Amino acid sequence: MKLEIGDIRIDRIEESCDISNLPHEDFPDATPEALAPYLEWLKPAAIDPATGRIIMPVQTYLVRTRHHTILLDTCVGNHKHHPDMPLWNQRDNYRLLEDIAAAGVRPEDIDFVMCSHLHLDHAGWNTQLIDGRWVPTFPNAKYLFCQEELDFAQEEGRKGDSVYGESVQPVLEAGLGEVVAMDFALDDNIMLEPTPGHTPGHVATHLVSQGKRAVMSGDLIHSPFQLPHPEWSPVYDWDRAMGATTRRRFLESLADTDTLMMSQHFPAPSTGHVFSKGDGFGFRYLGCDMVHG
């Protein structure tokens, strides 16, 4: 999917679309009884009708401004060690890089890599395995990291998580990492917003051009069934209460405005506008008739 925000071009490029867990396995509040009133609009795009499991795209946003070519999140990547996640363990699929190339961009053309946070499905293509070594996939890019997120990812690495060692440390050792504040502005087109809760250093990325606005939400919200219940936080949030508070504040700031939300895990086309609905929210997808909420 291609879209324009003023003179910014954005390509949504999907690495995969997997059928994940049952909702209540990841979101304890999303019991079958609690979810029942919403199944009519959740199926078939967000909940698989056959299994009742969450449909979970993984994607990057390729952003081209007048000044820079940027990747927002880098998905799962290849050959990464995630033994507890069979769908994402030791992948060998170059679809993402091939689709970026089909959009007219080579790895060496990327100026900045900006990860919303450093979980396995958002930082994987930061590096690739070449001759037994992890090397930065985008050799001319500056990889922007918030210190809060670096510290968290490094601590998770000490506990056995592979992301820091495979997808972050090699970038830092290559001299391509740059530490920025959680409210950093790259220029007048691209700026970060602190959105902690899922992780300590999680950020949303705002895009602004010619009076038009969009924001990439990362894992601030995972599934459309959180729209009517922003308090439904997943078990993999670092701080579930903080995540719920941040999520509601974020959705309130977008509701009933012209700002486009670019989600990471909503079903395709994954982008649209938030609207108020009762005590919660809904989502009207861009370029189609699909509405969630």
CA distance 76 to 125: 6
Number of structural domains found in the chain = 1
CA distance 119 to 71: 16
What percent of the chain lies above the pLDDT cut of 90? Answer: 98
The mean per-residue pLDDT over the stretch 56-67 comes to: 97
The mean per-residue pLDDT over the stretch 35-50 comes to: 97
Look up the domain containing 61 and give its range.
Answer: 2-292
pLDDT in tens, 145-186: 999 999 999 999 999 999 999 999 999 999 999 999 999 999
User: How confident is the model at residue 176, as a pLDDT?
Assistant: 98
The mean per-residue pLDDT over the stretch 70-76 comes to: 98
CA distance 180 to 9: 24
- 3 state SS of 153: helix
pLDDT in tens, 240-286: 999 999 999 999 999 999 999 999 999 999 999 999 999 999 999 99
Q: Is the Cβ–Cβ distance between 183 and 238 less than 8 Å? A: no
Other CB atoms within a 10 A radius of the CB of residue 292 amount to: 21
The mean per-residue pLDDT over the stretch 112-135 comes to: 98
The mean per-residue pLDDT over the stretch 129-143 comes to: 97
The mean per-residue pLDDT over the stretch 81-91 comes to: 92
Element (H, E) at 249: helix 240-254
Letter string b/e over residues 67-94, b meaning 16 or more CB atoms within 10 A of that residue's CB:
ebbbbbbbbbbbebbbeeeeebeebeee
CA distance 279 to 293: 11
User: How confident is the model at residue 27, as a pLDDT?
Assistant: 98
Burial class (CB in 10 A: 0-12, 13-18, 19+), 36: exposed
- Backbone Cα Rg of the chain: 18
- As a residue count, the chain comes to 293
Q: CATH number, domain at 280?
A: 3.60.15.10
Name the residue with tokens 């900045």. 112
User: How confident is the model at residue 54, as a pLDDT?
Assistant: 98
pLDDT level of residue 83 (50, 70, 90 thresholds): very high
The residues that bridge with 207 in the sheet, in sequence order, are: 190, 214
Cα separations in angstroms, 209 against 93, 215, 217:
34, 12, 18
CA distance 227 to 240: 16
User: How confident is the model at residue 22, as a pLDDT?
Assistant: 97
Q: Is the Cβ–Cβ distance between 138 and 112 less than 8 Å? A: no
User: How confident is the model at residue 281, as a pLDDT?
Assistant: 98
**DSSP annotation string for 30-49:** --HHHHGGGHHHHTTTTB-T
pLDDT level of residue 1 (50, 70, 90 thresholds): confident
Name the residue with tokens 């390729």. 62
Residue at 270: amino acid letter: S
CA distance 64 to 105: 10
Answer whether the bond into residue 224 is a cis peptide, omega within 30°.
no
